[in-house]
Amino acid sequence: MIIFISCIILFLIGLYSIVTKRNLIKIAIGFALMEYAINLLFALIGFRKGALAPIITSVDSPHNFVDPIPQALVLTAIVIALGTTALMLVVIMRIYEKYKTFDIAEIKKLKG
């Protein structure tokens, strides 16, 4: 149970970094932390103690496998996280070109 809770704590650390940090890159790092936390949680959900990798090599191979679905989900989630992180960093780069700063307090052309 304690490992599941520590995943949630990692998730919250990421959220804390997004909400409080003023540097754009630190906000991007916060998202990376949240994504890692969820991927770790998925991997732990599928884990079973002493179980094998879920590969059936013959008809009579042993049946104590770890749950393969979370592993597939993590792979997909990593790809999506790659997409969002890449896009976010590109937008941060373009913002830096326009505003010459990473500080969100100085990036405020939009009002309301």
- Residues of this chain that interact with another protein (CB under 8 A) are 4, 11, 15, 18, 24, 27, 31, 34-35, 37-38, 41-42, 45, 67, 69-70, 73, 76-77, 80, 83-84, 87-88, 91-92, 94-95, 98-99, 107-110, 112
Dihedral sign computed on CA atoms, order 59, 60, 61, 63: positive
Side-chain-side CA neighbours of residue 101 (13 Å): 8
Which C-beta is closer to another protein: that of 59 or that of 110?
Answer: 110
Which two three-digit tokens encode residue 67? 């749950």
106 DSSP 8-state letter? G
CB of 54 to another protein, least distance (A): 13
